Amino acid sequence: MTSLLRYQFINYLRTYKYVPPFSIFVLCLVVNYTFIPNPILDSYSFTAIILFFLMGWFTVTLFHAEDEGQKVITTLHAKSRTQYNLGIFMICVLIGLFLSCISVIYPTLIGAFGEKPRFIHQLLGFLSHFSLSVLAIALSAIFTRELVKNKQNTWWGILGILIVSVVIATLKETILQIKGLIWLLPPVRLSLEMMGSEDSIATIPNIFYWRFVWIFVYSSLVVLLFFLLSNRKRR
Amino acid sequence: MNTIMEIQNISKQYRDKKIIENATFSICANQIIALVGKNGSGKSTLLKIIVELVDADSGSIVKHRQSLKIGYVPEVTPSHILFTPEEYLYHMGSIRGMAKKQLQQKINNLLELFHLEEARNIQIVNFSKGMKQKVMIMQAMLEDTDLLILDEPLSGLDPKAQRDLEETLSVLKDKGLSIVLTCHETKLLQHLVDTVLVIHNNKILQANSLNNNDLPKNKLMFEISSMKLLDNLLPLLEIQQQSLLNNGCHKVIAVIKTEDTDQVLLDLLQKKSSIKQLSPINQKEEQFYTHF
């Protein structure tokens, strides 16, 4: 598995397909913290949403980093399609983890906030970035070539699902009227709600942890669906 | 012959469309099999089933060796491999779980076998299509492969690259590998392949050998002043085409048995006929190419 991860990562680096999303990420981070002081949780919430969209970009380019023919060859050497896809998911998550850490550490280092962020600010900041990254990876993977034949459908699909996920976060009241629907929709709203807390927050309520857990569980279920559909496609 | 794999009653359909129906054949050691058929006849699907990339709806594949190693070269040659052959093969071997030392040794052997030692540090993306195809076959042979599956190996290669690759396949055969390939290239089929399996209407129709080039008949093209002069030869000639030329002569294309050829030629020359062409024909071969 380590060899597969190493190969997929080096191959991705050599494609340079990560340059556009990474540049936009750096640009957003720099521009967002140009003027100081900034509110802590609000700023983190904004960069988490940016990362949410950019992780969709990273995910597609990672899944499409190899030629179609080479993908078949690598899958054969890896001896399993699940193993191959798992490798890509792991690299996506590692990129999400790295960028989440940068998003939290960078403004702290340059003193971009009005007050010095406490540990709970940073923990909430990290969890919101990382949970939304993982959610974006899971949702985007469904529209990659592994499951969707047409490349155009991939980009429209991913853009659509990510935008809809954010839009429905603002339509919570309407959606709550349809029983059960709220559990089906991507839980971006949970992160936004939590990050809407005041900077003066003293402790992280237990419910917050459960909400983050739900975002991770929801993402895992989508990834599971990806693997089910992918293995079904083989037949 | 020593059978290494048996394909038994394999069937496959996609969305109610039959692709392969009850495909049954055996692959022997040191044998080259060509799967031929029209586009969309199911050749590639059958290869993918053999390498377990696609599941068959029914039937089974029986391996007669405990650890039969199969290498696969897909139809589409990857055009953007961002590694040198050495790096690429090293990565592929590592992913397979091969030990570093053994892998490095194997890479050196393969680079030598395929005459790519001097290109070992050049990025594959800069290779010609023929060289890329060689690298593809190399990756399929990283472990001591028993069976090599090649999907359209010569497709898109220029004649020189085709000859080059044909030679390479011949060397591999001599080294004891079994090869199953799909192809359209007639030259390859004539010189290299032991057995030809034709897929027609989803079924494997026939298994012909092209290597025993028995030449039962000849094709003869000649010009003669009058068709009446041929009366005594008609029992020996199978006239396929005749036409009247501007000079009043008749142009005739006929098929004759090899054993009768000398006699017919002598008779025609005595009748002041002009022989334009005489060529051996292989009926099996002609019949076979109608499947493309």
Q: At B230, which CATH number?
A: 3.30.70.260
Choose the final residue of a domain: B212, B241, B269. Answer: B212
Q: Which residue of B has its CA nearest to A12?
A: B82
Same-domain status, B16 and B61: yes
Contact B4, B62 (CB under 8 A): no
Q: Is the sign of the CA dihedral B185, A72, B42, B76 positive or negative?
A: negative
Phi, psi for A167 (deg, rounded to 5): -60, -45
Contact A112, A33 (CB under 8 A): yes
Q: Is residue B33 part of a domain?
A: yes
More confident residue, A108 or B202: A108
Kindly state the average pLDDT of the residues B226-252. 87
Chain B residues with a Cβ under 8 Å from any Cβ in chain A: 51, 53-55, 72, 74-83, 91-97, 136, 139
Instruction: Find chain A residues with C-beta within 8 A of B51's C-beta.
Output: 76
More confident residue, B286 or B157: B157
CA distance A198 to chain B (A): 49
pLDDT of the residue at A8: 94
Asked if the model's pLDDT at residue B17 lies above 70, the reply is: yes
Can you tell me the distance from the alpha carbon of A164 to that of A136, in angstroms, rounded to the nearest whole number?
12
Instruction: Find chain B residues with C-beta within 8 A of A234's C-beta.
Output: 53-55
> CB under 8 Å to B234, separation ≥6 — which residues?
none
* Contact check, Cβ <8 Å, B54/A234: yes
Same-domain status, B208 and B221: no
pLDDT of the residue at B186: 57
Instruction: Find chain B residues with C-beta within 8 A of A70's C-beta.
Output: 78, 80-81
Instruction: Find chain A residues with C-beta within 8 A of B53's C-beta.
Output: 72, 75-76, 234
CA distance A78 to chain B (A): 6
User: pTM of the entire structure?
Assistant: 0.77
Q: Is residue B6 part of a domain?
A: yes
Choose the final residue of a domain: B155, B190, B212. Answer: B212
DSSP A113: B
Q: Which domain holds residue B109?
A: 79-138
Same-domain status, B41 and B166: yes
**CB atoms < 10 A from the CB of A44, how many?**
26
Q: Is residue B87 part of a domain?
A: yes
Chain A residues with a Cβ under 8 Å from any Cβ in chain B: 3-4, 6-7, 10-11, 14-15, 66-70, 72-79, 234-235
pLDDT of the residue at B214: 53
CB-count exposure of residue B179 (10 Å: 0-12, 13-18, 19+): buried
- CA distance from start to end of chain A: 25
* Contact check, Cβ <8 Å, A6/B80: no
More confident residue, B217 or A45: A45
Q: Which two tokens stand for residue B181?
A: 């390939």
Q: Which of A76, A81, A230 to mutate to test the interface with B (most CBs of B within 10 A)?
A: A76
Q: Which residue of B has its CA nearest to A76?
A: B53
* Contact check, Cβ <8 Å, A67/B80: yes
Q: Is residue B73 part of a domain?
A: no
Q: Which two tokens stand for residue A7?
A: 């190969």
Q: Which two tokens stand for residue A130?
A: 């990382």
Kindly state the average pLDDT of the residues B10-14. 85
Choose the final residue of a domain: B212, B236, B263. Answer: B212
* Contact check, Cβ <8 Å, A69/B77: yes
pLDDT of the residue at B188: 61
Q: Is residue B238 part of a domain?
A: yes
CA distance A231 to chain B (A): 10
> CB under 8 Å to B191, separation ≥6 — which residues?
B166, B170
Q: Which two tokens stand for residue A6?
A: 């190493």
Instruction: Find chain A residues with C-beta within 8 A of B82's C-beta.
Output: 11, 14-15
**CB atoms < 10 A from the CB of A189, how many?**
19
**CB atoms < 10 A from the CB of A151, how many?**
12
Can you tell me the distance from the alpha carbon of A158 to that of A141, in angstroms, rounded to the nearest whole number?
8
Q: Is residue B267 part of a domain?
A: yes
Nearest to B94 among A3, A234, A235 (CB): A3
Same-domain status, B16 and B59: yes
Q: Is residue B74 part of a domain?
A: no
Same-domain status, B187 and B223: no
Same-domain status, B63 and B203: yes
Same-domain status, B26 and B133: no
Which ipTM value was assigned to this complex? 0.83
Same-domain status, B250 and B133: no
pLDDT of the residue at A130: 95
Can you tell me the distance from the alpha carbon of B232 to that of B267, in angstroms, rounded to the nearest whole number?
9
Contact B8, B24 (CB under 8 A): yes
Q: Domains in chain B: how many in total?
A: 3
Contact B84, A76 (CB under 8 A): no
Q: Give B215's pLDDT tier (boundaries 50, 70, 90).
A: low
* Contact check, Cβ <8 Å, B95/A67: no
Beta B195-200 vs B32-36: how paired, if at all?
Answer: parallel
Can you tell me the distance from the alpha carbon of A212 to that of A220, in angstroms, rounded to the nearest whole number?
12
Can you tell me the distance from the alpha carbon of B24 to that of B6, in angstroms, rounded to the nearest whole number?
8
Same-domain status, B100 and B153: no
Q: Give B207's pLDDT tier (boundaries 50, 70, 90).
A: low
Q: Is residue B84 part of a domain?
A: yes
* Contact check, Cβ <8 Å, B82/A68: no
Can you tell me the distance from the alpha carbon of A52 to that of A219, in angstroms, rounded to the nearest whole number?
13
Written as tens digits, the pLDDT of chain A (235 aa) is: 889 999 999 999 999 999 999 999 999 999 999 888 889 988 999 999 999 999 999 999 999 999 888 998 999 899 888 899 999 999 999 999 999 999 999 999 998 888 888 999 999 999 999 999 999 999 999 988 888 887 778 888 888 888 888 887 777 667 666 767 777 888 888 888 888 778 778 888 888 889 899 999 999 999 999 999 988 876 5
Task: Give helix A81-109 / helix A19-32 axis angle, nearest 10°.
Answer: 20
A to B CB pairs, distance under 8 Å: 61
| CA-based nearest residue to A127, from A172, A194, A183, A187 | A194
More confident residue, B158 or B225: B225
Bond into A186 cis (ω within 30) = no
CA distance B95 to chain A (A): 5
Contact A103, A122 (CB under 8 A): no
Q: Which of A1, A7, A68, A80 to mutate to test the interface with B (most CBs of B within 10 A)?
A: A7
* Contact check, Cβ <8 Å, A67/B97: no
Same-domain status, B107 and B124: yes
Can you tell me the distance from the alpha carbon of B1 to that of B64, in angstroms, rounded to the nearest whole number?
13
Q: Give B200's pLDDT tier (boundaries 50, 70, 90).
A: confident
Same-domain status, B155 and B134: no
Same-domain status, B115 and B26: no
Instruction: Tell me the pLDDT tens digit for each residue of B91-133.
Output: 999 999 888 999 999 899 888 888 888 888 899 988 888 888 8
- Tell me the C-alpha to C-alpha distance, in Å, between residue A73 and each of A34, A70, A80, B92, B142: 47, 5, 11, 9, 12
